[in-house]
């Protein structure tokens, strides 16, 4: 199960890439290099967090999605909608308008992802209370966090909660509801509207499971623009009166910062934003933090409201989602809504399918499958590090001196790629300046060195 390669939703358009190294510098797992003037992805290190996507100045990094027209391969076309999608829209656009517009676009059913939280939080509380060894229990909600732990904090994989997130449970539930109605399973297509790349990767190659219950993924920015365009074209007479929602209002907050932690018993902490997450995981790994029962961790700032595929401002999204919770709470004051009864008859299915297999580490520092060879390579890395300047300038096309040393022992680079080593070798006549120049050309591309001279020639001609 874990031997298969990661699926990556992030793709680099080589023809568009200018080799600026912005992506390489922000990658938290050092999964990017620059070769021949283009960014190159190391598959075994990438966690699909989307940090590179956010900083690319020329849009050379894209996030793949399934073709929207794929939904029409099924008779029953289900849109799994997260609460943050509704938070993207202006306050005068009601959830019911969004649902109805999704139906107009081609879906036959719309189901809110957080509906299954009512069942999940019971399982989570039991899991946390029963788990006395690996504390704190780390939420498995954010797939980028799961992959980050696999590749950068392998000692913490046993702390990951082995329960499916709401997305999978909602897919299981709604599919079973349709089957009970007499719909053939082959006619059911369930599509998730995703706010981030990591969830695409998790659906295409789930960690701890053989397959996903979903049939496809559609990027949230695409759906948002489609829905908003249709709504803006409607006349005032076509405005939909919102219907009361049966979802527990507090469950809507699950994907936001503190939305999960606030519903779990014991001492719970919520950490968001990638750099905060890495710092906190390092502290846990070093036993600097203790007596915490549960950790809600999200790589995006403000949780899923900060997903890279969201069209709106994350702070406004959070405000709108929280306002929706207040409005629903007021509507349901006299008769509190709970969809737990709807799920009760599916409880045996949840109990059977909610658990996932133990998560295995994918240690990015592992230099070889053979322990003896790996130790020798590690010793060589340490020797090489004594010669490198240690300033992590990135001129070698690697994000750090440590990364360059590891690339060297793996046969993916040479010590002469370091510009400081080059100067030293030139002074001692161990490297000819022309050879040194060709090395830098192979890293940064010929155009990078000649574009200024081309501009100068152009000016002279004029």
Domain boundaries, the chain: 1-63, 68-131+154-251+306-353, 371-462
**Which band of pLDDT confidence, cut at 50, 70 and 90, is reported for residue 460?**
very low
Question: Across-strand partners of 296?
Answer: 270
Give the per-residue pLDDT at 370.
Answer: 83
Residue 336's pLDDT is 54
What SS3 class is residue 209? coil
* Confidence class for position 182, pLDDT limits 50, 70, 90: very high
User: What pLDDT, in 10s, does the model give residues 79-92?
Assistant: 999 999 999 999 88
The confidence score (pLDDT) of residue 1 equals 41
Nearest Cα to 413, choosing from 52, 17, 42? Answer: 42
Q: What is the pLDDT of residues 41-67, one digit of tens each?
A: 998 889 999 999 999 999 999 998 899
User: Phi and psi at residue 437, in whole multiples of 5°?
Assistant: -65, -40
Question: Residue 236 — pLDDT band, cuts 50, 70, 90?
Answer: low
Please state the separation of Cα 169 from the chain's center in Å. 19
Provide CB contacts within 8 A for 234, sequence distance 6+. none
Confidence band, pLDDT 50/70/90 cuts, at residue 342: low
pLDDT at 242 over 50: no
Spatial CB neighbours of 397, under 8 Å, sequence gap ≥ 6:
21, 24, 33, 34, 35, 413, 417, 443, 444
As a whole number of angstroms, the distance between CA 60 and CA 20 comes to: 11
Under DSSP, is residue 76 helix (H, G, I), strand (E, B) or coil?
Answer: strand
Q: Is the pLDDT score of 259 beyond 60? A: yes
Do 118 and 349 touch, CB atoms closer than 8 A? no
Peptide bond into 136 cis (omega under 30): yes
Rounded to the nearest integer, the mean pLDDT of the chain is 88
The CATH number assigned to the domain with range 68-131+154-251+306-353 reads 3.40.50
Q: Which CATH class name applies to 1-63?
A: alpha beta
Q: The whole model's pTM is what?
A: 0.89
Question: Between the CA of residue 333 and those of 92, 248, 323, 330, what are the distances in Å?
Answer: 23, 11, 15, 5
Does residue 388 carry a pLDDT above 60?
yes
């Amino acid at each position: 199960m874990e031997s298969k390669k990661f699926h990556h939703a992030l793709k680099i358009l080589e023809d568009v890439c200018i080799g600026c190294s912005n992506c390489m510098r922000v990658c938290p797992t050092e999964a990017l290099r620059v070769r021949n003037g283009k960014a190159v992805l190391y598959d075994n290190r990438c966690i699909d967090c989307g940090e590179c996507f956010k900083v690319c100045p020329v849009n050379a990094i894209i996030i793949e999605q399934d073709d929207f027209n794929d939904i029409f391969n099924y008779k029953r076309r289900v849109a799994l909608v997260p609460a943050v999608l509704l938070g993207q829209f202006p306050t005068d656009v009601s959830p019911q308008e969004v649902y109805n517009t999704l139906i107009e676009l081609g879906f036959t059913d719309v189901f809110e992802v957080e509906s299954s939280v009512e069942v999940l939080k019971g399982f989570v509380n039991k899991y946390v209370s029963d788990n006395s060894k690996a504390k704190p229990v780390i939420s498995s909600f954010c797939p980028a966090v799961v992959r980050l732990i696999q590749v950068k904090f392998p000692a913490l994989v046993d702390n990951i909660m082995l329960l499916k997130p709401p997305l999978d449970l909602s897919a299981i539930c709604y599919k079973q509801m349709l089957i009970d109605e007499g719909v053939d399973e082959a006619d059911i297509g369930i599509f998730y509207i995703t706010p981030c790349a990591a969830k695409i990767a998790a659906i295409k190659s789930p960690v701890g499971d053989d397959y996903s219950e979903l049939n496809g993924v559609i990027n949230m920015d695409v759906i948002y623009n489609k829905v908003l365009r249709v709504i803006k074209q409607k006349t005032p007479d076509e405005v939909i009166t919102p219907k009361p929602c049966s979802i527990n209002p507090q469950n809507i907050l699950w994907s936001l910062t503190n939305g999960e932690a606030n519903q779990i018993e014991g001492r719970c902490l919520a950490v968001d934003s990638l750099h905060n997450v890495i710092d906190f995981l390092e502290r846990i790994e070093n036993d600097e933090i203790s007596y915490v029962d549960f950790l809600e961790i999200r790589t995006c700032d403000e949780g899923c409201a900060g997903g890279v595929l969201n069209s709106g401002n994350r702070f406004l999204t959070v405000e709108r989602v929280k306002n929706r919770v207040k409005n629903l709470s007021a509507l349901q004051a006299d008769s509190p809504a709970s969809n737990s009864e709807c799920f009760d008859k599916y409880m045996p299915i949840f109990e059977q399918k909610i658990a996932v297999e133990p998560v295995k580490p994918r240690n990015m520092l592992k230099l070889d499958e053979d322990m003896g060879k790996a130790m020798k390579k590690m010793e060589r890395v340490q020797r090489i590090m004594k010669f490198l300047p240690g300033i992590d300038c990135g001129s070698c096309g690697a994000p750090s001196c440590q990364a360059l040393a590891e690339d060297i022992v793996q046969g993916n680079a040479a010590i002469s790629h370091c510009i400081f080593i080059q100067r030293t070798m030139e002074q001692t006549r161990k490297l000819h300046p022309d050879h040194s120049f060709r090395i830098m050309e192979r890293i940064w591309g010929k155009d990078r060195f000649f574009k200024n001279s081309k501009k100068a020639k152009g000016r002279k001609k004029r």
